[in-house]
């Protein structure tokens, strides 16, 4: 799939997800407002009827204006213009709410004009039961009325949510669909990236294999010449070339197979007590010997004391070789590399620092990913599979070590391994 197609799918998907979410939120809010308005209107009707019944009971005439006033979302006050009998009020409230099918908890209080305070009446549950509890909220007074009662609906939000259960179910289904759609886009992007990485890997592997195969083929053609027997020195040189290129080819194949084994079934570490400084000295010495032709200068700056750690000797040696090989391979001038050790508290810190071109910040977290190779500058032209640092990270994690990178473009790079002791 082309890059433009991927970009179009992502943009279209993002708009679709945002659009669906916004529309759903809008309709949910609208439905909630309608349901709340219906509830409030029903409460107004019920409380007005209660006020009228109390007026008939007390043989008084209510004011012309609406006796019900809503002070907050859950709290209403009702003007009855006469003394209120708590038992009669309780009866009228239960009767009227039952007629209107209002099945939610409520509590009420009656204003005592003699003491100028709200006297708590009762708390009635949705099932019609009463329970002697303290008020769930402070029921404020209303200065414009003299004889009135206040009623609060503490479970209003829960009650309305229960009525909108079907909306909630549809919203959950939509949310799951949106998450699935977003996950599908993520998978598409991941597969695209993996496809590009695999393509680069195959190209790199083909190039890496082609060079030694070509050298072996040329050497084989020369050796096949019958006259070569008269030139034993030349025959020996071409035999050495075949041997060298064959070993190089075997190393490349083994590197790929090793990563494949690690991913498929993991690997077993042969943990033993090893002398870290001895291993570093051997690796530095071997690297200096193998890179004399490019005048690489690799030095070790180690702690004075002997450092013993628990590790797999083979794998820690391979880690150091990989880091040194990368530093040499990606150098844009004469390589100068320092391998250092520092004991800080309960940690031993190994540093591999070079004077190379450095790694841009946006690539520093990606360099440990499988097949990843920095696609800019000289690094792009360097041979390799993008498996070295992936191997380093996996071996470090298997040992429960920390691995990190410090780098600035133009100022080299430093790989840091933290070993708990």
Distance between CA 231 and CA 229 in Å, rounded? 5
The overall average pLDDT reported for the chain is 82
Residues 90 and 49 in one domain: yes
CATH code (residue 246): 1.10.287.130
Residue 378 has a pLDDT of 44
Q: Does 144 share its domain with 257?
A: no
Q: Tokens 């570093």 — which residue?
A: 280
Residue 26's pLDDT band (cuts 50, 70, 90): confident
**Residues 8 and 142 grouped into a single domain:** yes
Interatomic CA distance for residues 399 and 315, integer angstroms: 10
Domain annotation covers residue 139:
yes
CATH number, domain containing residue 332? 3.30.565.10
Q: Are residues 206 and 154 in the same domain?
A: no
Express each pLDDT in 86-138 by its tens digit.
889 999 999 999 899 888 889 999 998 888 888 888 888 876 565 555 666 77
Whose tokens are 């708009």? That residue is 15
User: How far, in Å, CA of 165 to CA of 171, rounded?
Assistant: 10
- Residue 379 has a pLDDT of 43
How confident is residue 78, by pLDDT bands cut at 50, 70 and 90? very high
pLDDT digits (tens, 9 = 90+) for 369-415: 777 777 654 444 555 566 778 888 888 988 999 999 999 888 889 99
Q: Is there a single domain that holds both residue 144 and residue 202?
A: no
172 within domain boundaries: no
The domain of 197 spans 191-265
Question: Which are the contacts of 305, defined by CB distance < 8 A and separation ≥ 6?
Answer: 343
Torsion of CA 220, 226, 229, 234, to 10 degrees: -40
Q: Is the pLDDT of residue 283 over 80?
A: yes
CB contact at 8 A, 151 and 142: no
> What pLDDT is recorded for position 219?
81
Helix axes 232-265, 165-224, angle to 10 degrees: 160
Number of domains in the chain: 3
Half-sphere exposure in the Cβ direction for 414 (13 Å, CA)? 13
Please, are residues 370 and 386 in contact by the beta-carbon 8 Å criterion? Answer: yes
Taking CA 174 as the corner, what is the angle to CA 173 and CA 177, rounded to the nearest 5 degrees?
A: 90
Pair of tokens at residue 38: 């219906």
Average pLDDT estimate for 282-299: 82
What is the pTM assigned to this prediction?
Answer: 0.49
Q: Mind listing the pLDDT tens digit for each residue in 65-77?
A: 889 999 988 899 9
Q: What's the whole-number mean pLDDT along residues 43-53? A: 92
Q: Are residues 258 and 278 in the same domain?
A: no
Please report whether residue 183 resides in a domain. Answer: no
Q: What's the DSSP call for residue 147?
A: S
Sequence-ordered list of residues with C-beta below 8 angstroms from that of 242, at least 6 positions apart, any chain? 215, 216, 219, 220, 223
Is residue 94 domain-shared with residue 224, that is, in the same domain? no
């Amino acid at each position: 799939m082309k890059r433009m197609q991927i970009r179009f799918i992502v943009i279209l998907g993002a708009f679709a997800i945002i659009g669906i979410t916004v529309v759903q939120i809008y309709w949910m809010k609208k439905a909630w407002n309608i349901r709340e308005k219906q509830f409030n209107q029903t409460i107004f009707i019920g409380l007005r009827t209660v006020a009228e019944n109390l007026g008939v009971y007390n043989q008084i005439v209510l004011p012309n204006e609406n006796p019900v006033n809503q002070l907050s979302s859950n709290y209403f006050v009702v003007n009855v213009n006469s003394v209120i009998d708590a038992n009669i009020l309780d009866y009228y409230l239960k009767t009227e709410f039952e007629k209107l099918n209002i099945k939610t908890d409520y509590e009420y209080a009656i204003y005592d004009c003699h003491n100028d305070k709200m006297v708590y009446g009762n708390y009635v549950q949705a099932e019609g039961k009463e329970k002697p509890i303290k008020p769930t909220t402070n029921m404020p007074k209303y200065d414009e009325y003299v004889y009135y009662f206040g009623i609060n609906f503490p479970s209003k939000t829960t009650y309305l949510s229960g009525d909108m259960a079907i909306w909630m179910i549809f919203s959950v289904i939509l949310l799951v669909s949106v998450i699935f759609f977003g996950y599908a886009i993520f998978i598409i992007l991941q597969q695209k990236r993996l496809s590009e990485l695999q393509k680069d890997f195959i190209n790199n592997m083909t190039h890496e294999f082609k060079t030694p195969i070509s050298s072996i083929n040329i050497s084989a053609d020369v050796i096949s010449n019958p006259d070569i027997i008269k030139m034993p020195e030349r025959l020996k040189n071409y035999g050495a070339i075949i041997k060298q290129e064959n070993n190089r080819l075997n190393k490349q194949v083994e590197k790929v197979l090793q990563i494949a084994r690690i991913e498929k079934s993991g690997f077993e570490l042969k943990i033993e007590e090893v002398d870290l400084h001895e291993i570093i000295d051997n690796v530095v010495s071997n690297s200096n010997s193998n890179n004399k032709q490019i005048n690489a200068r690799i030095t070790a700056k180690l702690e004075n004391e002997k450092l013993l750690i628990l590790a797999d000797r083979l794998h820690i040696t391979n880690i150091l070789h990989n880091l040194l090989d990368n530093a040499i391979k990606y150098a844009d001038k004469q390589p100068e590399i320092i391998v250092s050790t520092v004991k800080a508290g309960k940690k031993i810190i190994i540093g591999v620092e070079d004077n190379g071109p450095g790694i841009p910040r946006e690539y520093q977290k990606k360099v440990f990913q499988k097949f990843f190779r920095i696609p800019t500058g000289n690094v792009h032209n360097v041979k390799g599979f993008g498996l070295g640092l992936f191997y380093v990270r996996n071996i470090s994690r298997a040992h429960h070590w920390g691995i990190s990178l410090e780098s600035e473009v133009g100022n080299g790079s430093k790989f840091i391994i933290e070993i708990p002791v």
